[in-house]
Amino acid sequence: MSEQRYEKLLAALADNSEKVERALEGFCSETDEDFGIVMDAERYSLLGGGKRIRPFLVNEFCRALGGDIEASMPLACALEMIHTYSLIHDDLPCMDDDDMRRGKPSNHKRFGYANALLAGDALLTRAFEVAASAEKLKPDARVEAVSLLARAAGDRGMIGGQVIDLDSENKSISLEKLLKLHSLKTGALIVCAAKLGCLAAGFGTDSAESRAAEKYAAGIGLAFQAVDDMLDVISSAETLGKNIGSDKDKGKTTFLTFFDIEQTAAYAGRVTESAKTALADIKDSALLGELADYLLQRRS
């Protein structure tokens, strides 16, 4: 598929990335002569990159529902801080033990084990401070945002998924458990992003809009993971920015344990379609529809 097909989306993603980067920089501009190294470690992983898909979801759901992205931006930044913390901790030697992340040394390779651990802790903590300080939102919406973030990131969310993931190395798990793993480890935060965007536009978690956003996000989350599993097999290390074949090396169960490449692609296509169907309840959802297609065809 051509890049032209996604011209508007790519422009919107680039614009969002730039705005998110600036907002994150604003939240991380401080330093201290005695413990500046942990702030440097935070900035190292938080700034300078990525497609910022999760913050885009927050801001784009807000915009699509008639909200102001100035209202959603602190929530987008808070979520990105949590995502970044999870990557730093996932890469640690006691976890996935990854030396590289996004084509550069992982945080602990650059700053040492203790500082990387603390930088992760600090970003997780900061996320809640930032969400609580979302000044364009009323206090009850801020409270709801903190609560959504904590539940998505906590032991019954992302952390639970990580525990299943670690527990599943070098043993086979059922497809059902693999789906649970993904819906928690990556899905919970993606769903949270979509719901935070709704919340910032005035649509609480009980609204039809928020429920539609949840369905959409759960769908693209699963598709994202299925595509990830395929890319781990078929992509090159250069394109991916990390070692390929790492899933198999670690004896991890993936979609490829149950399906071949073609079946996995078909599965990703189906959940993407159902995600797009859920967008019927979202007013100005063209870009979100494009995003679902774009993530399906990505090659890195």
We find the least distance from the C-beta atom of residue 129 to a copy of itself, in angstroms, to be: 4
Read out DSSP for 42-105?
A: HHHHHSS----HHHHHHHHHHHHTT--HHHHHHHHHHHHHHHHHHHHHHHSTTTT--SEETTEE
- Here's the x/- map for a copy of itself, 29-48, by CB under 8 A: it reads as -x-x-xx-xxx--x------
121, two tokens: 């802790």
Helices (H), 112-157: 113-132, 139-153
Stretch that binds a copy of itself, among 4-12, 158-166, 270-278, 290-298 (CB under 8 A): 158-166
160 binds a copy of itself, rule: CB under 8 A: yes
Angstrom distance (rounded) from CA 241 to CA 99: 12
Stretch that binds a copy of itself, among 160-168, 226-234, 251-259, 270-278 (CB under 8 A): 160-168
Which residue, 64 or 152, has its beta carbon nearer to a copy of itself? 152
154 binds a copy of itself, rule: CB under 8 A: yes
Q: Which of 10, 47, 100, 150 binds a copy of itself (CB under 8 A)?
A: 150
Residues 59, 76: contact at Cβ < 8 Å?
Answer: yes
The angle formed by the CA atoms of residues 54, 251 and 239, to the nearest 5 degrees, is 45
Helix (H) or strand (E) holding 290: helix 286-297
How many residues bind a copy of itself, per CB under 8 A?
A: 54
Amino acid, res. 198: C
Which residue, 123 or 226, has its beta carbon nearer to a copy of itself? 123
- Here's the x/- map for a copy of itself, 94-133, by CB under 8 A: it reads as xx-----------------xxx-xx-xxx-xxx-xx-xxx
Q: Which residue in 192, 276, 266 sits closest to 226, CA to CA?
A: 266
Where along the sequence are the contacts to a copy of itself (CB under 8 A)? Answer: 30, 32, 34-35, 37-39, 42, 89, 92, 94-95, 113-115, 117-118, 120-122, 124-126, 128-129, 131-133, 138-140, 142-144, 146-147, 149-151, 153-156, 159-164, 166-167, 177, 180, 184
